Amino acid sequence: MNHSTDQRLHALDAVRGFALLLGVAFHAALSFMPGWPPGIWAMNDNSPSQFLSDAAFVTHIFRMSLFFFIAGYFGRLLYQKLGASAFWANRGKRIAIPLIAGWVVLFPLISYIWITGITKVFGGTLPTMPEMPKTPGAFPLTHLWFLYQLLLTYAAFLAVRALVVRLDPAQKLRNVVDRAVAFSIRSMTGMFVLGLPLAAALMSLGFWFYWQGIPTPDQSLIPQVPASVGFGTAFIFGWLVNRSSNALAAIAQRWFQHLVIAIVATGWLLHTMHATPMAQPGLTKTLYALVFGVAVWGWVLGLTGAALRFLYGFSPTRRYIADASYWIYLMHLPVVAAFQVWVGHWPLHWGVKYPFILVSSFAILFVSYHYLVRPTFIGQLLNGRKHPRRRATMDSPPSPASPPTSPSPVEQGHGGVVARLRGITKRFGATTALSNIDIEVRSGELLAVLGPNGAGKSTAISLWLGLTEADEGEVTLFGGSPQELAQRRHLGVMMQDVELPKELRARELVALARSYYANPLGVDEAITRAGITQIADRPYGKLSGGQKRQVQFAVAICGRPKVLFLDEPTVGLDVKAREALWQSIRTLLAEGCSIVLTTHYLEEAEALANRVAVVTKGRVIASGSVDEMRALVARRQVSCETSLSADEVRTWPGVVEVTKESSRLRITTTDTEAVVRRLLASDANLARLEVKQAGLNEAFNELTREAA
């Protein structure tokens, strides 16, 4: 599994936790439903809320489908890793035991609270409770039904999978499916197609209250059709998304569009439901079922995509919450219901009571998780890992599915690689800014990236800074992703075309920037090192261009960075300021800081660099030591008006390149004297002879032609 997939798993873990915690909020709302007959839930609150009814409906559209979708994704991951028998052993521990043990513990508690609540609702006398329906398989699964349904789904799916593997030995069918999965997401057709089986199952329901969405299969051990079809589709698609190499990226890309359609569809569902809450046979019911399917998949793909887009990477807080969510969802129902029963007759508005129930329940559940579960065998059972109590705070170790990979810079020995671009391609529309480039920065060195304007230097820096994502290839900073804060805490940066806030003084700008770092320089020290003591108390807006660059340099170095990115640092500096800046750079190098410097001044690279990489038109066309690069530009350019042909001159020794512009020849040569002597000897009428040092641009152009 590569690094970026690892990063994405954190986002999916967060989504799973979100879906489960949303369930708590959903159940906490159910005592406030307007118009629900007494006895249908543990409590009927005296302050019902249409808003909570609508909000609960909206979350109920997608939360379980989202859970099964993620379960499918992680299901394949686990199956690939463990194989069939270990997979079942693992699922037995994580799913079957919590189902059975949880039911044994929770069912009596839930029953007790329900009886207490319903007695309260009916004014102190318990009415005759309806019997469990006398149908085969009837069983009160309670909210743990989802574990039972998940086990059934695993079994059914793996049986089908075995059949497919037998029928499609060459993977032809599966390759087609993989491509179709990614296409269906990118083209947005998936959200319309995936809901169709569910819509068909819902249409066939005899009694269907629109509000309930997919009827909850919590009353029977016999699988129910709509739930099996709806959640089964979600599970299968999750599994297929894990198979397809491009699907996750497509989901991340289309998050916004999916969410917009989900919101529009949901708006229509709410509107229709308010008119007629109970489905009547006819066009509306059909349309409702179809739109419901679209809403389910809009939310599932939109929320997953948003998480991939914004919750990329490891966060200790999210990790902790995701770990806690399983326990919390298992245990929440009696806690939430007990609060609902308690507050049900208080003469307060639901706007006070509902948050009270939610906050109190979460407090109890998180505390119980922290002390009873996380450091004990229960945590081991539910999440596969026990956390020793003394470190049982937010800095949690990895979960089974998602090991965070962030090697510390401390681990990088001298000469190790601190930053790397590997096989990177980056396009902006039709322009390819970088084309399959590899560059690495080693510990303690200064790498100068040379190239003309528009060569792709700044794009390369942007990738290392985590500002843009590559279309292909891998970007690493201290072995991790630059998008992670933990990696960026060790970098300093001076960008091109950046203006700092003009109202703030240099001293204040440094003070603000250093607050981001763990072990920064003192404000005065950073100011002295950057040579801006004289101007430290003047507003940034009042400084000259060169002085502004010096302040930006102070901001870049104030965090004692382990790697420093300087994008054209000396543009606009006078000679004295440039020398001073070079001196500061040398001091940083002597202290072991690695530096990436982009420039189009060759002498800057000569003065400072250990290594040079020449980039032109998005490709690294040469790299090596400064001496090697110097040889490259030791060439001269000779031009003259002559009747000699370019083809002839090209064959002469010492001639690298010849171009002809009307009567004028331009000759690039490594042996100027010999070529000039021979030119004069061969053409007596030769005129307007010029010899000049080949600039970097000429060297680049020439190199690119060679590379092409």
Partner 1 sequence: MNAMALNSIEATAPRSGLGIYLKETQYELLRMVRNPGIAIPVLVLPLGLYALFALVIGGEWIAKDPNAGIFLFTAFSLMAVTMPAMFGIGVSLALERDMGLLRLKRAQPAPPAAWVVAKILAGLVLAMLAYAPIVVLAVGTGKLALEVVQVIALSVALLLGTIPFTALGLMIGSLASGTAAPGWANVVYLPGCYLSGMFFPLPKSMYWQAPIWPQFHVNQLAMHMADITKMQFEPLTVAIGTMVAYTLLFAAVTVWRLSKKG
Q: Write out the residues near partner 1 by the rule CB under 8 A.
A: 51, 256, 309-310, 316, 395, 397, 403-408, 410-411, 465-467, 485-486, 488-491, 493, 495, 497-501, 503-504, 508, 511-513, 515-519, 539, 559
CB atoms within 10 A of CB 377: 9
Q: Are 548 and 574 in contact (CB under 8 A)?
A: no
Q: Are 471 and 4 in contact (CB under 8 A)?
A: no
Contacts of 367 (CB under 8 A, 6+ apart): none
Cβ nearer to partner 1, comparing 518 with 590: 518
Give start and end residues of each alpha helix (H) in 168-207: 172-186, 190-193, 196-203
Minimum CB separation from partner 1 for residue 410, in Å? Answer: 5
Minimum CB separation from partner 1 for residue 640, in Å? Answer: 46
Cβ nearer to partner 1, comparing 218 with 508: 508
Rounded Cα gap, residues 459 and 467, in angstroms: 9
Minimum CB separation from partner 1 for residue 187, in Å? Answer: 20
Minimum CB separation from partner 1 for residue 477, in Å? Answer: 11
Minimum CB separation from partner 1 for residue 189, in Å? Answer: 22
Minimum CB separation from partner 1 for residue 616, in Å? Answer: 24
Rounded Cα gap, residues 422 and 435, in angstroms: 11
Cβ nearer to partner 1, comparing 503 with 661: 503
Minimum CB separation from partner 1 for residue 260, in Å? Answer: 9
Contacts of 524 (CB under 8 A, 6+ apart): none
Tokens of 386: 């026990």
Which H or E element spans position 292? helix 283-310
CA-to-CA dists, residue 407 to 341, 417, 446, angstroms: 50, 12, 22
- Of 59, 135, 639, 566, whose CA–CA distance to 358 is shortest? 59
**Three-state secondary structure call for residue 487:** helix
R_g over Cα of the chain? 34
Which H or E element spans position 303? helix 283-310
- B/e letters for 441-459, b = 16+ CB within 10 Å, e = fewer, are bbbbbbbbbbbbeebbbbb
Minimum CB separation from partner 1 for residue 186, in Å? Answer: 17
Minimum CB separation from partner 1 for residue 318, in Å? Answer: 13
Minimum CB separation from partner 1 for residue 256, in Å? Answer: 5
Cβ nearer to partner 1, comparing 1 with 40: 1
Minimum CB separation from partner 1 for residue 271, in Å? Answer: 15
Rounded Cα gap, residues 523 and 494, in angstroms: 17
CB atoms within 10 A of CB 233: 24
Cβ nearer to partner 1, comparing 58 with 150: 58
Cβ nearer to partner 1, comparing 266 with 669: 266
Cβ nearer to partner 1, comparing 52 with 621: 52
Rounded Cα gap, residues 596 and 580, in angstroms: 18
Cβ nearer to partner 1, comparing 393 with 587: 393
Minimum CB separation from partner 1 for residue 448, in Å? Answer: 20
Residue type, 509: L
Strands 472-477 and 446-450 turn out to be unpaired
The sign one gets for the Cα dihedral 252, 258, 262, 263 is positive
Cβ nearer to partner 1, comparing 565 with 700: 565
Cβ nearer to partner 1, comparing 257 with 659: 257
Rounded Cα gap, residues 27 and 35, in angstroms: 16
Rounded Cα gap, residues 657 and 706, in angstroms: 10
Tokens of 36: 């629900």
Beta bridge partners of 669: 636, 655
Cβ nearer to partner 1, comparing 490 with 611: 490
Cβ nearer to partner 1, comparing 38 with 407: 407
